[in-house]
Structure formats: C-alpha cells, structure tokens
Amino acid sequence: MQPKSVAVVGAAETTRLGKIPDVSVIGLHADAALNAMKDAGLKPSDIDGVATAGISPVELAHYLGITPTYADGTSVGGCSFMLHVRHAAAAINAGLCKTVLITHGESGRSRVGAGGFGRAPSSLMGQFEMPYGVTSPPTMFTIPVLRYMKTHGVTEEDLATVAVIQREWAARNPRASFKDPITVDDVLNSPMIAWPFRMLMCCLVTDGGGALILTSAERAKDFPQKPVYILGTGESVETPMVSQMEDFNSSKAFRVSGKKAFDEAGIQHADVDHLMIYDAFAHLPLYGLEDLGFVKPGEAKDFIRERNTAIGGKLPMNTNGGGLSYMHSGMYGMYALQESVRQMRGTAAAQVEGAKISVSHGVGGMFAASGTVIFTNEK
C-alpha cells in the first residue's frame, strides 16, 4: 500500500458500552455504523464498500440499505478489523470502491442474538484440544504463558503489573467499565481462573460495537473530521490451535504482521508516539512489545514495570484502559483502532499531547491471527 493514500474519515463506537440487553448483535453493528456515518457526514447511499466479522457483510449491507461494489467478510477473530482496514486501503487504491464502512458489534455479555462458542468435534480443534477440557479463551490463550514465564523469568507480579497500569489509564476514561485503582496485591488476590491467571489478568466481557469509514486521502480533505491517514499495514495467521504454535515464547503472526506494517510505513520504533496492543489477557502486551520489536525478547516485563507504557511514560500504551479495563466484547480489535483514531484526532479522553504516529496491533483467536495498522495525522 502507498503510505497515506487512504484515510479514516469516520469513526465511532456504539452510543453505549457495557451492558446493553436491549440491543441485538446486528443492532449494535447498525448503531456504530450510524454513529460513524454521522461523524463523517455520510448516508448509507454514500457507502460503496462494506467489511465486517462476526456477522456476514451481506447481513450488514442489507440491514443498512447499502449496495456495495466491495464486500470483505474476513473473520479471523478480534483482529479482523485491522485486516479489514488493510484490505479496504488496497481496494480503494485499486479502484474497487471509494468509501468503505467497517463495523463491529457484539453482545458479549448479554448474548442478544449471538451464537455460541462451540467447535465441531470433527474439526482439528474438536479432536485434538476440546477433549482435554478447554472451555473458552481463559483456558486456551493462557496455555503458552508458563513456558514464556520460565524462559524469561517472568513472575505473576509482572503479569499483575500490566493490569494495574492499564487500570490507571482507564481511570482517565469516562467510558471505561472499570475505573477504580487496583494494586498488584488486588490482582494476585482476585479469584483463580486458570493458574497462573487470575480474574483481573483476564479481559472484561461486555456489549458494544464500533465502526470506521475509509476513503482516499484525496477525498478525505473534504470531510468534516481531521483525516487520519493509514501509514502502514500488516497481517498474518499462524494456527487455529494454540497447542500448535511454533514457539510459546513468541507469536509468529505478531512478528510477520508487525514487520510488514513497519516496513510499509517506513518508520522506526522511536517514531511511535502511541501504541495499542490488543490485551485480552495480561500477557499479550508483553508478547506484543517484544514481537513488534519495541524491546528485545524478555525485556517487556521490565519495560512495563519501569512505567514506560504508563501515564507520563515514553510509549503510552492501551490508553483507553484496554480489554482489561475499558471494554471487551469478544472481538476487541475495533476498540484499539478507535482509540488510535481518537489519539490521532486529538480527541482521546487520555490524550497523548502532540502524538503524530499511532500503532494499533491486534490478535485473533488464541495467537491464531494478527493485524497491525499504523496511523498518522500528518499528510
């Protein structure tokens, strides 16, 4: 992709976040989409490209009354929206469409109009993981971590520190689900979920959604909001089974996706002013910082403990409070993207003053997939 050839001109979350028992999954998609269209000053008839995950782009287009010439149903888990941004940028550059709407909506908590989490017993996961008692992400996403902890001398306190610092960011965000300060002891005394993971090391489960609208940089200057340009993108996938990850100390999908995005953007790590790393669990920012190359393998725990990613640190990370404290509907990637866009517009609740480059890095499944989007507010 040509850097800065495509821009975000509309961005919004659902009107409410948290517990929304009176809106179904597709209703959350629509609420976010309408809010993003209002933000961009557009009507459904102005949209000619759609992308979504969880529901099909056909459902989305029909529900909103859109007749697209481009539809992307890439569904690789919570980072699907990073991939949608990447694909939309390519599609706009190739002339497949002009204005792409990307939506997310999930009734993670209330389960209104939502499907289940089952796996067919004949699938590879059904045959070679489900029989051993895996339930949902807390017993799968966490499986590599003891190996990582042994390799790098990471402690339970280090994992807890990730959650504590993200809560500090959440305290600055009126829309965050959890805002009260917590200590390392609070995290280590919270109920055991799947050793070594305790409840406060695991993400929230809430309802909500978000939507983005992208168009060419050339057209972007005619929209009401300050354009946020796409500087670089990356994606990759590794395995649907966490037990078959090549290396439990590092995500191959993270490494491939991150490098692709940084190469495309032509930037160095020191150029990054703001970072979002999808944190479904407390270990993900550790893996992310290392696999994206911000620190060397094993250094992330000290980097976080020394408050580099905290308020006032040199690399503000997960400034909305993250999946651990802001919200987590199931496919959190959209909220990471929304926070990056807010930071680039200068409208975030915990605004990083003067931020010019933001990296939004997502994970899908249990280290199954990854997508990275690098934004800038400078043309």
List of residues contacting another protein (CB under 8 A): 120-122, 124, 126-135, 138-139, 142-147, 150, 191-197, 241, 243-244, 248
The CB-of-184 to another protein minimum distance in angstroms stands at: 19
Q: Per the structure block, which two tokens stand in for 280?
A: 């479904």
Q: Which of 278, 287, 332, 335 is catalytic?
A: 278
Residue 327, SS3 per DSSP: coil
| Closer Cβ to another protein, 2 or 127, answer by number | 127
| Closer Cβ to another protein, 15 or 151, answer by number | 151
| Closer Cβ to another protein, 242 or 363, answer by number | 242
Active site residue 63: no
Are the C-beta atoms of residues 275 and 303 closer than 8 Å to each other?
A: no
The CB-of-379 to another protein minimum distance in angstroms stands at: 45
| Closer Cβ to another protein, 150 or 379, answer by number | 150
| Closer Cβ to another protein, 5 or 139, answer by number | 139
Burial of 296 (0-12, 13-18, 19+ CB in 10 A): exposed
| Single-letter code of the amino acid located at 243 | S
| Closer Cβ to another protein, 93 or 155, answer by number | 155
Per DSSP bridges, beta strands 99-107 and 207-216 are: antiparallel
Active site residue 278: yes
The CB-of-274 to another protein minimum distance in angstroms stands at: 32
DSSP designation for 227: P
DSSP result, 15-38: S--B--TTS-HHHHHHHHHHHHHH
Q: Which residue has the tokens 């009176």?
A: 22
Are the C-beta atoms of residues 32 and 211 closer than 8 Å to each other?
A: yes
DSSP designation for 357: E
Contact residues for 361 (Cβ-Cβ < 8 A; gap 6+): 82, 254, 257, 258, 275, 276, 277, 278, 288, 292, 336, 370, 371, 372
Q: How far is the C-alpha of 68 from the C-alpha of 92, rounded, in Å?
A: 13
Q: Per the structure block, which two tokens stand in for 25?
A: 């999954």
Q: Which of 148, 326, 332, 335 is catalytic?
A: 326
Q: How far is the C-alpha of 369 from the C-alpha of 83, rounded, in Å?
A: 10
- In the β-sheet with 228-237, what is the strand arrangement from edge to edge? 70-72, 49-52, 99-107, 207-216, 6-13, 228-237, 369-376, 357-364, 274-277
The CB-of-242 to another protein minimum distance in angstroms stands at: 8
User: Which positions are annotated as active-site residues?
Assistant: 278, 326
